[in-house]
Structure 1
Amino acid sequence: MVSKKTANYSYDPVILIAVLLLIGIGLIAVFSASSILAEERYGDHYYYLKRQGVFCLFGLFLMMLAKNINYLLYRRLVYFFLGLSLILLILLFVPDLGVKVAGAQRWLRFGFISIQPSEAVKLSLAIFVAYSMSKNVERMGTIFHGLLPPLLVAAIFMILILLQPDLGTAVIIGIWMLILLFIGGVNLGQLLVLLGLLTPIAFYLISHTAYRLHRWWAFLNPWQDPQGFGFQIIHSFLAFGSGGFSGVGLGNSKQKLFYLPEPHTDFILSIIAEEIGFIGVSILLILFSFVIIRGIKIALHAPELFGTYLALGISCMLAVQVTVNMGVVMAILPTKGLTLPFISYGGSSLVINLIGMGILMNISKKSLDGPGELKRT
């Protein structure tokens, strides 16, 4: 049951406090990691900080809006969100709309606004999978009602994401999907067969694409090509090693001085580790753990199954992204090009994650209002 202190609020305040702390740390980290780069590229130390601040304000506005929208509305609009996400992904391949950066076509540009549709896909899929599993709760052990509906829908989006190309995001969605389907009651044997079918596909996609294969070898032995594909992970090692327990001091990172590529995005944790040390990384881990564990508790207390699965989907997606990003910067996993939620620079990721937190808070509000419906569709 929820605590008496929490019951004094119309929503679970723990998530809000933890998220605000993460955003605050993120803004400081983005400025520290990007100021020199911003000055060199745009002649303005505050360029990335100002943009991230705007993303934060917009995201917080949408989070508070989502907090006050009955989450059951998303169940009725599930196909609208899927269709919108699908259209946005297809628009990536329209000339003058899709923007290619470093060989990947992942951004849509509308005037001065750029968005990354794959981030919206994650939330749309969370809504659809929650809808599908809650609707077929008694038949989740069957292939046609349990496994196939979410699998086929996810496969369409994953193929379009792979065409960008963006294997990292497709893998994240795949891992997240397997976790949710297992929690939802899909037969373990079916999931193992599915995993067995997907593994050779992933192997083919890696082995037949030069830069992916180089990334894999750099993961296994970065010192074999220290000035090439191993460069980024080696400098991430150096950042962690220099930081030690308490760090070299805020703003004093050496790796952000054009050694570690794009230090304000995928590898921002390396800069935090260098400047604030083990203490800073531990604080982040604790805050992320608070959000994820609280999200799972909200799921367990949700008044009906759609809310349960939606809260689990949002919480698990956050957990997978945090785990993979941290694994990459520590060379536990191959480089995938994935941001650290709430911390890394990037508007689409930040805004979508904040909307997800707003939905979690709304589900918690319904849990605190009373027992509500029995756990059924």
Structure 2
Amino acid sequence: MIIEKKSPDLWVFITVIILTAIGVCMVFSSSYVMGYKWYGDSYYFLKKQLFFSIIALIVFFFAIFTDYHHFKKFALPLLILSIILLSMLFIPNLGRSAGGAKRWIKIAFLPFQPQPSELAKFALILYMAEFLTRKQLKDIKTFIKGILPSIIIVLVMFLLILEEPDFSTSLIILGISFIMLFIGGTRVLQLYSLIIASIPFGIFMLLKEEYRKIRLLSFLNPWKDPLDSGFHIIQSLLALGSGRILGIGLGASKQKYFYLPDQHTDFIFSIIGEEFGFIGTLIIIILFIILLWRGFRIALNSVDEFGTLLAAGITSMIVFQSIINVGVVTKIIPTTGITLPFISFGGSSLIMNMFCAGILLNISRYKIKEGGVN
């Protein structure tokens, strides 16, 4: 088999650049009022997002031109590092809390506070791609040698992230792992059994915490408590409804004047809908559909199983997160805090998503030469 290089997938490259550019624009549009009130600088969040974007572009191009096979040797070290960082969140005065969740680590010399769960998602994808590739097909189909080691790692990460608490990222971790196990050759019956066995646990975790029960009830009827538990979703729906078909114009949002909370992070899609209407939100959804289509196409056309699993995991991560974010702001699923990939304000998320997109593009650069023989 002869492998040759080609240009990276142009669809993915252009889509990622467009989403990132939209993100910079919308972070400024949604945050300049808040920046002026809190920091006396309307450009505060814009300047930070531009700084994050520059770093993200550097790692993006680094990943595009670095053979993805080189990352295989870092699979276990990155996994261990991510588990350590997730554990460090619970050390007093080290983990930073916001909105009732402890998701960031305070590191004095860094210009931003890293979010360990962003690294953890990639570390899990890389480890599972390496683990499933290393295992022979007969081992993959056995529970003890095939599925159990992966499930143990997934559960450790799941519980650490859930404890922050970050229910949405925990669900993404589970979704990614099931897709990669399926593609890796795990028996479908084993996966079905795991899903069925996890349902009671999922219901227990959902009802265990009072705030989760409140969010579930507010999702079913947010107008029952419009000034408290239902406030987020009602303001989000008002923003989306105000935009109608074409929107009220860039920078003209009314909801960003401290009506809609987290307007530059979790609910930035609502501001897009208010300022650019249904057409604007449809364009965003189409861009993520393009990533889904091209990402799995890259996975199917990869020259080896490691590339297939890595591409499928990265694509699933980005798409799952975008589905949950859009589902929350449109009241399709209960409210949970998660950002919109490439668009929402935040350094850790943007840098890791751009890095992963770069790896996806690197996988797309390799193809089997026609007529090549081993």
Q: TM-score range by the shorter chain?
A: over 0.9
Question: Structure 1 residues 323, 370: CA separation in 2 closer, same or farther (over 3 Å shift)?
Answer: farther
Q: Do 1:11 and 1:368's aligned partners in 2 also have CA atoms closer than 8 Å?
A: no
In the alignment, the residues of structure 2 paired with residue 261 and residue 210 of structure 1 have an alpha-carbon distance, to the nearest angstrom, of: 21
2:38 to 31, 38, 41: 41
In the alignment, the residues of structure 2 paired with residue 46 and residue 315 of structure 1 have an alpha-carbon distance, to the nearest angstrom, of: 32
- Asked if 1:79 corresponds to 2:83, the answer is no
Q: Do 2:27 and 2:343's aligned partners in 1 also have CA atoms closer than 8 Å?
A: yes
In the alignment, the residues of structure 2 paired with residue 267 and residue 371 of structure 1 have an alpha-carbon distance, to the nearest angstrom, of: 51
In the alignment, the residues of structure 2 paired with residue 373 and residue 228 of structure 1 have an alpha-carbon distance, to the nearest angstrom, of: 66
- Asked if 1:18 corresponds to 2:15, the answer is yes
- Deviation, 1:371, is 8.8
Q: Do 1:298 and 1:367's aligned partners in 2 also have CA atoms closer than 8 Å?
A: no
* TM-superposition CA deviations, 1:336-365 (whole Å, max 9, x none): 101000011111110000000110111111
- Deviation, 1:135, is 2.0
RMSD: 1.9
Q: Do 1:265 and 1:344's aligned partners in 2 also have CA atoms closer than 8 Å?
A: yes
In the alignment, the residues of structure 1 paired with residue 68 and residue 239 of structure 2 have an alpha-carbon distance, to the nearest angstrom, of: 42
- Asked if 1:50 corresponds to 2:47, the answer is yes
* TM-superposition CA deviations, 1:108-147 (whole Å, max 9, x none): 1111430000000000111111112222251332212332
Classify the secondary structure of the residue corresponding to 1:115: coil
| Aligned residue runs from structure 1 range 289-328, under 5 A | 289-328=289-328
| Counterpart position of 1:29 | 26
- Deviation, 1:69, is 1.4
In the alignment, the residues of structure 2 paired with residue 114 and residue 259 of structure 1 have an alpha-carbon distance, to the nearest angstrom, of: 26
- Deviation, 1:182, is 2.3
TM-score (norm 2): 0.94
| Counterpart position of 1:4 | none
Classify the secondary structure of the residue corresponding to 1:284: helix
In the alignment, the residues of structure 2 paired with residue 331 and residue 321 of structure 1 have an alpha-carbon distance, to the nearest angstrom, of: 15
Question: Structure 1 residues 276, 13: CA separation in 2 closer, same or farther (over 3 Å shift)?
Answer: same
Q: Percent identity?
A: 43
In the alignment, the residues of structure 1 paired with residue 371 and residue 215 of structure 2 have an alpha-carbon distance, to the nearest angstrom, of: 50
Letter paired with 2:328: V
* TM-superposition CA deviations, 1:199-229 (whole Å, max 9, x none): 2222222212111110010111111111111
Q: Which range moved further: 321-330 or 203-212?
A: 203-212
| Counterpart position of 2:101 | 104
In the alignment, the residues of structure 1 paired with residue 370 and residue 303 of structure 2 have an alpha-carbon distance, to the nearest angstrom, of: 8
| Counterpart position of 1:187 | 187
| Counterpart position of 2:118 | 119
Classify the secondary structure of the residue corresponding to 2:32: helix
| Aligned residue runs from structure 1 range 230-269, under 5 A | 230-269=230-269
Classify the secondary structure of the residue corresponding to 2:97: strand
| Aligned residue runs from structure 1 range 159-174, under 5 A | 159-174=159-174
Q: Which range moved further: 97-106 or 211-220?
A: 97-106
Tell me, which stretches of 5 or more residues in structure 1 are unaligned?
1-6
- Deviation, 1:185, is 2.6
* TM-superposition CA deviations, 1:47-79 (whole Å, max 9, x none): 111101111100110111111211111222211
In the alignment, the residues of structure 2 paired with residue 37 and residue 284 of structure 1 have an alpha-carbon distance, to the nearest angstrom, of: 24
- Deviation, 1:301, is 1.4
| Counterpart position of 2:90 | 93
In the alignment, the residues of structure 2 paired with residue 369 and residue 344 of structure 1 have an alpha-carbon distance, to the nearest angstrom, of: 40
Classify the secondary structure of the residue corresponding to 1:367: strand
| Counterpart position of 1:129 | 128
Letter paired with 2:211: Y
